[in-house]
Structure 1
Amino acid sequence: MGKKSRSALIAALAAGSLFTGMSTSTGAPNPQTGATGPGDGSPLPSAGASPLPGVDLDTVTIPELQARMTRGALTPSALTSAYLRRIKAVNPKIHAVLRTDPTALRQAAASDVRHRHGATRGPLDGIPVLLKDNVNTRDMPTTAGSLALAGDPPDTDAALVTRLRDAGAVILGKTNLSEWANFRGEKPTSGWSAVGGQTANPYVLDRNPCGSSAGAGAALAASLSQVAIGTETDGSIVCPAGMNGVVGHKPSLGLVSGAGVVPISAEQDTAGPMARNVTDAALTLSVLAGGNTSRAGGSPGSLGPLNDLTHPGSLRGKRVGLWRLPSLGPAVDAVMTRTAEQLRTAGAEVVEVTPPHQARLAELEFPALLSEFHRDIDAYLATRHGPRNLGELIEFNRTHPAERTCFAGQELFEKALAAPATTDPAYRAMRAELRRLSRNSIDETLRTHHLDAIASPTNPPAWTTDCARGDNDVIPSSTPAAVAGYPSLSVPAGFVNKLPVGLLLMAGDHQDAELLSLGAAVEHRLDAWRAPGYLPSVGPDGSRSR
């Protein structure tokens, strides 16, 4: 899209009119959530009803697509066109994609040529990828969902986008997110941003997609792209994956470069792959990681070999620790019981565990993130047009009513502005304790019980989206790996009242390849993925007690 003045862009975004290459909505928006209906109430088709002969977009994997491209039975242009048509047809119902890249078909055509000449750049060549809109792109806006960044695009791509382009991936567009990655108000509504409105859960449209990679999770559930890139500080990849019935991998800290990604905390932030199957997530991670394999502490580390996940290995002899989390409710616990039985039937040993130190982690994490956010967002804003620091950003929100159409609060911004600096000895002691306890919570549990991984429910069934109430999302399972900087992986596990529940797997530092291999075997055994139904509602929200 061409450059406009920042004021004109803000006005267009606030009016909901600036979406490039796609229709934004049909029907009237819900005044509370911004969601819209289909206009005629007609059901949406499964992506399996694809105009690509022999290709079911719901279930096809990257290796299967590449095999067809090698045979000449499919071109990247045809695949990209199919996804663009699906976005146009389905996105008005769920508001997951903010904008499509006007150069997507040009990128695909270049991949067509490489495929014809046998000069492809790897498994992602010609594969459409959506990016969460906090990942810098030089040719599309990067807003973090905020009108404050709605002006000119960043000057350069994020490092991970450069890796994707170099691998031949087709950058299809940008997905909506929880504004500022859910780090603005104390009672936010996940999946809402001033730029994109409210993203809906494709399974049940009045339910929430979870944050903050909400648009990425919903877009994949609706088969609007082959893969997507999300980001996580604590739960923002794995929760949307679980709640939208897809796969999400939070890599080990430092495996994927954070350069050019709107931050919360360098101590916990990471981008990672989201997909409809573990194979595609693993192949995408191999591109994202590239040569950046340093551990957070600077010692050598690597992704390690990725086995051929198209033929998942056996679960026989694997040991998995099940952390039940009864606070998520009896229906979720019943899903975990069935999951444990399925894994045992496949030959795995499942033992019940409770990782230590969880109460202390919950006590310390938030104050540390406040200090880190102030430091890191100031550094990022200095690279962009618009507010130059956190104080100016707070003032922007106070003077732009469109930033308060769902929830008004920016309490986290205000607390971060007043938080101790990251040079403060008290802060440093807090982060050191967080790092030690979080790593011990996983390492001790793995070692004591001789485990290959720890498993827990990723999420409760999705709550109803309600701007007045905000989220109902105190979900502790993501915290140990997020704070430790260890990998985690969510795979579909089952359903509660037609709403997906994920199984979260955690492993030790830089055990990403081993975790993905185990996750592929678990995914194959559970076989829990089902296409979304786009139901308007399933009745009152009884997913959790408050």
Structure 2
Amino acid sequence: MSKKKQFALAAALTGATAAVLTAGMFVRREVVKRRPFAIEEATISAMQRALKLGQITSTDLVQIYLDRIEHFDRKGPKLNAMLELNPDALHDAEACDVKRTVTPNVGPLFGIPVIVKDNLSTAGKMHTTAGSVALADYIAEEDAFVVKRLREAGAIILGKANLTEFANFMAENMPNGYSSLGGQVLNPYGASFDVGGSSSGPGAAIAANFAAAAVGTETSGSILSPASSNSLVGIKPTIGVVSRGGIIPIAHSQDTAGPMARTVRDAVLLLNAMTGVDEEDEETVWSRGDIPQDYSVFLKRGGLKGARIGIDRHYTASLSDEKVKIINRALETMKTRGAAVIDPVAIPSSDALENRQSCVMYQEFKWDLNRYLEQLPADVPVHSLQDVIAYNEAHAEAALKYGQTVLEKSERMSGDLGEQRYLIDRADDIRLSRKEGIDAVMKNYHLDALIFANATGSDIAAKAGYPSITVPAGYTDAGEPVGITFTGMAFDEPKLIELAYSYEQATRNRKAPDLS
């Protein structure tokens, strides 16, 4: 049989048929002596090496992760990180194993299991719910653009992760990680620690080694917060780097998807696969010339040398003394690696941003969610924000443990993006976060990046649409993770990756949680 025919056959195979072909047609690969593969803290590169050497298969990887999820998410500590598993994951893995024998030179994500947050649409047999009981039976007709890109890269979608319901835009007193559909996500480092939100499920799942990496989403802190809380690397990209197509929205001016992983390199490999021009998302079209072809070239161990980094101590004022010491230790490490740390700097607009009420997110949420829901099939019970509120009221025992005050406030808005108040508030958001905020402090002090503890600076960066990367900085004596976040200006991802990778390699702070 020609290689072309073999590939065509392999591409169509799933299940036991693929396994039989693997055992029969490609016998040589099966004689490689297998060694136990340590899945905990395994990087994507390590998995790919083991796959290429035949020490493990993608089917093995998927099964190992499924076993861990069964043991630690459904039983054991019952982290509640996962909402749903992909029933085709093993079949997809078997097909990858067969394809690999025909085309061994595959990309870095080929055959690698990843998780996506359950506000990203997935076609097939999995649901897309945003954690809401109102959307419990909804199955999307097509993948979100980001999910399409991951599948094209050969990644295996292992399942959908739990989240703070409607990405934490439902109720003012809803705890991070709670959804009416999935319950409360717990932090694998300790149930008493905040799990962060709204990408709580991806954060807990990757920290607990339930997959190689995950896709989260952020409107204001929803990647950076759970990444910091779960000792992960989280990249919140510049608006326009990653498409928003097919993602249940909050606010289009701030929404983005981004990678969450255990190492900077793994997060960058995922980011590479996620980027791309989506003709349905104008922000990605306008950003076409600002996105590097490969972010991994910026993984430089010496990235801190000669860098100028500033920290505004206003954003550490609410931290405990112990956490401030961890941040100070991180700054000292950066100095030893050749960075100039300007301490303190002052973001001119920080007080003004904190002391004002903007209608932007509420107006955009009503507008964006109504546009998303109105396209859903007729058998889905909700097709507007008003429908969601009514459904929740009719099913209050299941849906309204913490109420829906944010949904109700949004519904009271006009949803008119031409309204004067909205236009003024949006203009003020941009002015205060950019020109009089991050741009001003970066230019005044000639900085390459700003430093924040955990996700404390996420709001100003979110309003500006600017990128941030958080990496593990250490742990309190009680074992609670602390992250340190690098923030820059628009499309500064290359510089932030250099800084974050250099710091990570100098410290190797991350430790796996003890799930026993």
TM-score by length of 1: 0.82
Counterpart of 2:457 in 1: which secondary structure?
helix
2:214 matches 1:228:
yes
8 Å contact from structure 1 (residues 279, 309) kept in 2: no
d(CA) in 2 for partners of 1:232, 1:363: 22
8 Å contact from structure 1 (residues 201, 207) kept in 2: yes
Shift of 1:435: 1.3
d(CA) in 2 for partners of 1:225, 1:436: 40
Unaligned runs of 5+ in 1: 1-51, 460-475, 536-546
Bigger helix fraction: 2
8 Å contact from structure 2 (residues 452, 484) kept in 1: yes
Shift of 1:137: 0.7
8 Å contact from structure 1 (residues 250, 488) kept in 2: yes
Shift of 1:166: 0.8
8 Å contact from structure 1 (residues 306, 517) kept in 2: no
8 Å contact from structure 2 (residues 242, 258) kept in 1: yes
Aligned residue identity for 1:361: L
Structure 2 counterpart of 1:285: 271
Aligned-pair identity (%): 38
Please give the residue correspondences for 1:37-436 in structure 2 after superposition, counting only pairs within 5 Å.
53=35, 55-92=37-74, 93=77, 94-118=79-103, 120-139=105-124, 140-292=126-278, 295=283, 298=286, 300-304=288-292, 305-308=294-297, 312-324=301-313, 325-352=316-343, 353-364=345-356, 366-384=358-376, 385-404=380-399, 406-407=401-402, 409-420=403-414, 421-436=416-431
2:487 matches 1:506:
yes
d(CA) in 1 for partners of 2:249, 2:169: 10
Worse-superposed segment, 447-456 or 483-492:
447-456
Q: How far does the alpha carbon of each residue in 1:486-522 deviate from its partner, in whole angstroms, 9 at most, with x for none? A: 1111100011221001001101101112212221111
Q: 1:309 to 1:202 in 2, by over 3 A?
A: farther
Structure 1 counterpart of 2:498: 517
8 Å contact from structure 2 (residues 237, 256) kept in 1: yes
Unaligned runs of 5+ in 2: 1-33
Q: 1:55 to 1:326 in 2, by over 3 A?
A: farther
Shift of 1:365: 6.2
Shift of 1:308: 4.2
Aligned residue identity for 1:330: D
Larger radius of gyration: 2
8 Å contact from structure 1 (residues 364, 430) kept in 2: no
Q: 1:322 to 1:354 in 2, by over 3 A?
A: same
Structure 2 counterpart of 1:443: 439
Q: 1:276 to 1:143 in 2, by over 3 A?
A: same
d(CA) in 2 for partners of 1:314, 1:146: 43
Counterpart of 1:328 in 2: which secondary structure?
coil
Counterpart of 1:514 in 2: which secondary structure?
helix
Q: 1:401 to 1:120 in 2, by over 3 A?
A: farther
8 Å contact from structure 2 (residues 358, 425) kept in 1: no
Aligned residue identity for 2:404: Q
Structure 2 counterpart of 1:47: none
Shift of 1:312: 2.7
d(CA) in 1 for partners of 2:36, 2:205: 22
d(CA) in 1 for partners of 2:113, 2:375: 28
Shift of 1:534: 4.0
Shift of 1:120: 5.0
8 Å contact from structure 1 (residues 319, 452) kept in 2: yes
d(CA) in 1 for partners of 2:482, 2:494: 23
d(CA) in 2 for partners of 1:86, 1:481: 36
Counterpart of 2:469 in 1: which secondary structure?
strand
d(CA) in 2 for partners of 1:499, 1:299: 38
Q: Aligned match of 1:478 in 458, 474, 488?
A: 458
Structure 2 counterpart of 1:456: 452
8 Å contact from structure 1 (residues 61, 277) kept in 2: yes
- Could you list the structure 1 runs, at least 4 aligned residues long, displaced by more than 6 angstroms after superposition: none
d(CA) in 1 for partners of 2:459, 2:73: 31
8 Å contact from structure 2 (residues 52, 104) kept in 1: no
Shift of 1:297: 8.9
Q: 1:296 to 1:165 in 2, by over 3 A?
A: closer
Structure 2 counterpart of 1:530: 511
d(CA) in 1 for partners of 2:413, 2:396: 26
Worse-superposed segment, 424-433 or 65-74:
65-74
Aligned residue identity for 2:60: A
Q: Aligned match of 1:487 in 445, 467, 481?
A: 467
8 Å contact from structure 2 (residues 189, 514) kept in 1: yes
Shift of 1:526: 2.5
8 Å contact from structure 2 (residues 299, 497) kept in 1: no
Q: How far does the alpha carbon of each residue in 1:346-400 deviate from its partner, in whole angstroms, 9 at most, with x for none? A: 2211112222212332345642101010100101111222211111111111111
Q: How far does the alpha carbon of each residue in 1:172-191 deviate from its partner, in whole angstroms, 9 at most, with x for none? A: 00100001111011111111
Counterpart of 2:257 in 1: which secondary structure?
strand
8 Å contact from structure 1 (residues 146, 403) kept in 2: no
8 Å contact from structure 1 (residues 491, 503) kept in 2: yes
Structure 1 counterpart of 2:19: none
Aligned residue identity for 1:444: A
Shift of 1:298: 2.8
Counterpart of 1:350 in 2: which secondary structure?
strand
Shift of 1:67: 2.0
Cα RMSD (Å) of the superposition? 1.9
8 Å contact from structure 2 (residues 240, 286) kept in 1: no
Counterpart of 2:330 in 1: which secondary structure?
helix
8 Å contact from structure 2 (residues 268, 296) kept in 1: no
d(CA) in 2 for partners of 1:314, 1:390: 46
d(CA) in 1 for partners of 2:465, 2:357: 13
